Structure 1
Amino acid sequence: MQTGKSAAETIKETGSNVMASAKAGMDKTKATVQEKVERMTTSDPLEKELATQRKEGRINLAELEKQEVRHRHAAEREHVRGGATGGVFSHGHSIDTGAKTNPTSALPGHGTGSHLGK
């Protein structure tokens, strides 16, 4: 059973994670809208592609910031417990399986350049 203090900390952490997800969602939406405006205001194909690349960069940054908040909370939680019992190293390898992870996105294939036909 959790003590009152740790239950409150858990609620605070969960709320902070939810806020980080909401902020990331809003940042991603803002990036998408900005890209659409930029693409509509230019006829130059190069400028349209640059607008898309800027959008993808903003989306990746928003996702990275969200993941950093979650990882920081997990690290704080493990520190309080007295040591690591699982999770992800900063270089992206899972402690439990050794499987490669993408710390910048939870979307399959996201950030791989596959949208460019590669």
Structure 2
Amino acid sequence: MQGGKTTGESMKEKASNVGASAKAGMEKTKATVQEKAERMTSRDPLKKELATEKKEAKVDQAELDKQAAREHNAVASEHNSAVKQGPTYSTTGVHGHPKGFHHGTGGTYS
């Protein structure tokens, strides 16, 4: 069997990626709302600038977290596909005879 993702693994990865994107979107929105609140309540231009910088840092971090989650999901999906395929075994026993071949002595090769 080829080393590709199954449909189920692909769907799980996509669902996890959607969740990561949604979480990142929520974090970005929270950062924006918090920035606006801080800018509205402050008269100090320095504090307003600091609020904007905090927002940008949080937005950047949310994006980095989303990308890390996507990479993790891809690796986990590949790993799960490989594990599900399992190892391959030989179908021949001793002397190239198929396993379970009965020899004249009544014994079987395993």
TM-score by length of 1: 0.60
* Equivalent AA in structure 2 for residue 25 of structure 1: G
* Equivalent AA in structure 1 for residue 6 of structure 2: S
Shift of 1:64: 0.6
State the distance in 2 between where 1:9 and 1:62 align.
25
State the distance in 2 between where 1:23 and 1:80 align.
24
Contact 2:9–2:77 (8 Å) recurs in 1: no
Once the two structures are superposed, residues 49-97 of structure 1 have per-residue CA deviations (whole angstroms, 9 ceiling, x without a partner) of 0000000011011101100011112223444577xxxxxxxxxxxxxxx
Three-state SS of the structure 1 residue aligned to 2:42 is coil
TM-score by length of 2: 0.64
* Equivalent AA in structure 2 for residue 38 of structure 1: E
Query: Structure 1 residues 14, 69: CA separation in 2 closer, same or farther (over 3 Å shift)?
Result: same
Runs of 4+ in 1 over 6 A off after TM superposition: none
What's the C-alpha RMSD, in Å, of the aligned pairs?
A: 2.2
Give the number of aligned pairs.
79
Larger CA Rg, structure 1 vs 2: 2
2:4 maps to 1:7: no
Q: How does 1:1-118 map to 2 (within 5 A)?
A: 6-79=6-79
State the distance in 2 between where 1:77 and 1:12 align.
8
* Equivalent AA in structure 1 for residue 74 of structure 2: A
**Structure ranking higher on relative contact order (CA contacts 8 Å, 6+ apart):** 2
Higher helix share: 2
Equivalent pairs: percent with the same residue?
A: 59
